[in-house]
Amino acid sequence: MATTLDVHVRMCNQEIVIFDLEVKAFIQDIRDCSGPLSTLTELNAKVKEKFHHLRLRIQELEQMAKEQDKESEKQALLQEVENHKKQLLSNQTAWRKANLACKIAIDNLEKAELLQGGDMRQRKTTKETLAQTSSNITESLMGISRMMSQQVRQSEEAMHILANSSRTILDANEEFKSMSGTIQLGRKLITKYNRRELTDKLLIFLALALFLATVLYILKKRLFPFL
């Protein structure tokens, strides 16, 4: 019976050591975990399972220690049980710290991704704003170009109108010069006619005077022959 108990004690101790190592390995995996949160949840589930088996083996070892016939062996096994319990508590503390560190790392990573996503959205928004601004500037330049083209056409039309007006003015000036010559010629003719009329009047007056003198002379000779 004592031999069988000793075998069970050794097997229980070995299993406790194995579960303890597995717990420590999973705790290290949790420390190294950077997400996602589902991975952390899976690791915690495995750690809980190992802790459950570890507690059962420690309880079995404690029960076998109480069943020892010799007090010295009983106290020795109880001391081992106490050491395993302390190690269990130490693993639980390390597990909590590893979870805290992992959650902080995941939160920081998510914040970084959010910030990066915000920067990408901001860069996208900036690109869209720049593209819209460039499009607005292009449309403004095209509008200015159209206005300048319209102004050029209006200026050309104004130049054509001014050229036609200039030709009309030149033609009118030539007509005025021609009319001025005609007027001057008419004036000369009128002046000449006036002079001719004066001469004619003078000749008529002289002719009339000569006629009257002639009549008077004839009358004198006939009426007063003795004179």
Mean of the pLDDT values across residues 192-219? 80
List the domain range (segments joined by +) for residue 13. Answer: 1-112+160-173
pLDDT number for residue 16: 95
Q: Give a yes or no: residue 224 inside a domain.
A: no
State the CATH number of the domain containing residue 3: 1.20.58
Contacts of 35 (CB under 8 A, 6+ apart): 105, 106, 109, 110
pLDDT at 150 exceeding the cut of 90: no
pLDDT number for residue 207: 82
Q: Give a yes or no: residue 98 inside a domain.
A: yes
Q: Give a yes or no: residue 198 inside a domain.
A: no
Q: Give a yes or no: residue 210 inside a domain.
A: no
pLDDT number for residue 135: 60
* pLDDT tens sequence across 50-66: 999 999 999 999 999 99
Task: Indicate the pLDDT class of residue 3, thresholds 50, 70 and 90.
Answer: low
pLDDT at 137 exceeding the cut of 70: no
Percent of the chain with pLDDT over 90: 34
pLDDT number for residue 226: 64
Classify burial at 102, counting beta carbons within 10 Å of its beta carbon; exposed 0-12, middle 13-18, buried 19 or more.
buried
Write down the mean pLDDT value for the chain.
Answer: 80
pLDDT number for residue 27: 95
Lowest mean pLDDT among 13-22, 34-43, 132-141, 160-169: 132-141
Q: Give a yes or no: residue 132 inside a domain.
A: no
pLDDT number for residue 52: 96
Q: Give a yes or no: residue 212 inside a domain.
A: no
* pLDDT tens sequence across 12-38: 999 999 999 999 999 999 999 887 888
Separation of alpha carbons 205 and 217, rounded Å:
18
Q: Give a yes or no: residue 217 inside a domain.
A: no
pLDDT number for residue 123: 54
pLDDT at 91 exceeding the cut of 70: yes
Q: Give a yes or no: residue 220 inside a domain.
A: no
pLDDT number for residue 128: 65
The structural domain count of the chain equals 1
Predicted TM-score (pTM) of the model is 0.49
pLDDT at 149 exceeding the cut of 90: no
